[in-house]
Amino acid sequence: MTSTNTHTNTPRVAVVTGGSGGIGRVAAERLAADGLAVVVSYSGNPAPAEEAVQAIEKAGGTAIAVKADVADETEVAALFDAAEKRFGGVDVVVHAAGIMLLAPLAELDLADFDRMHRINVRGTFVVGRQAARRVRSGGAIVNFSSSVTKIALPSYTAYAATKGAVDAMTLILAKELRGRDITVNAVAPGPTATALFLKGKPEAVVDHLTKMSPLERLGTPDDIAEVVSFLAGPARWVNGQVLYANGGVI
């Protein structure tokens, strides 16, 4: 069934940053399956983004790929321009782009901290600013936080700090959009089996993280995409919240 904009009776449109891989790609495919036209935003290699578009189209959906550095105001504005030119507007923004560089606070290279801050914090601010200006009435903005802000795992200090900033921006933007009928929420995944999460982790560490949840497994991208789908569609009374999708870890 096609998801339509109630005001114009046209298909709803989603912009998904980080949509070429990991949770972002699965979220893009889920939203396309929900009937939204999807703009898959990527920052580097176009091949995975085109693969995501092809997968969506093969499943009967509609999508395009657009390159944009989420921390670059001009490129993000052009991303939204492309969405509006191709599909007529933007109803949903899922900001899944982000990086995670781990080390204890005393050992983390400040260049890595600055890189995470640029992408995770400035990127959320830049994308959020365009979303606040462009998303149509009845729309939704979904940011990506992390359960590590509560779990407080060693070596995650800098990464968790960037996601704490995402939480603050999410809660405040929801109030700043008063009267617009636009919801703003964040999804905070727990340990999830993605390349980003599993990279460099010894098997013993992965086993420990697996057992943290009462469900005794890692999350999957599909688990997180289900929450994104809920916030992007039927969850009109959920607003200004950080939803912890972590299988009960906290």
pLDDT at site 10: 78
pLDDT at site 6: 56
Residue 93 banded pLDDT, cuts 50, 70, 90: very high
β-partners of residue 140 are 92, 183
HSE, side-chain direction, 13 A CA sphere, residue 167: 17
Catalytic residue among 42, 156, 159, 244: 159
Residue 2 banded pLDDT, cuts 50, 70, 90: low
DSSP states of the chain as a string?
---B-TTT-SB-EEEEETTTSHHHHHHHHHHHHTT-EEEEEESS-HHHHHHHHHHHHHTT--EEEEE--TT-HHHHHHHHHHHHHHHS-EEEEEE---------TTT--HHHHHHHIIIIIIHHHHHHHHHHHHEEEEEEEEEE--THHHH--TT-HHHHHHHHHHHHHHHHHHHHTTTS--EEEEEEE-SB-SHHHHTT--HHHHHHHHHHSTT-S-B-HHHHHHHHHHHHTT-TT--S-EEEESTT--
Q: In the numeric block, which tokens belong to residue 62?
A: 């509609």
Residue 9 banded pLDDT, cuts 50, 70, 90: low
What's the whole-model pTM score? 0.94
Q: Tokens 């929450």 map to which residue?
A: 227
Q: Which of 178, 154, 182, 184 is nearest to 166 (CA)?
A: 184
Packing angle between helix 22-33 and helix 46-58, nearest 10 degrees? Answer: 30
Strand 242-245 versus strand 183-189 pairing type: parallel
42 as an active site residue: the answer is: no
Q: Give the amino acid at 25.
A: R
Average pLDDT of the chain is 95
Q: With beta carbons less than 8 A apart as the criterion, state whether 162 and 116 touch.
A: yes
Show the domains of the chain with their CATH numbers. Answer: 13-194+221-244 (3.40.50.720)
97 CB-near residues (< 8 Å, 6+ apart): 17, 18, 24, 41, 43, 70, 119, 123, 127
Q: Is pLDDT above 60 for 1?
A: no
Q: Is pLDDT above 80 for 154?
A: yes
The pLDDT tens digits for 114-146 are 999 999 999 999 999 999 999 999 999 999 999
Mean pLDDT computed over 167-179: 98
pLDDT at site 24: 97
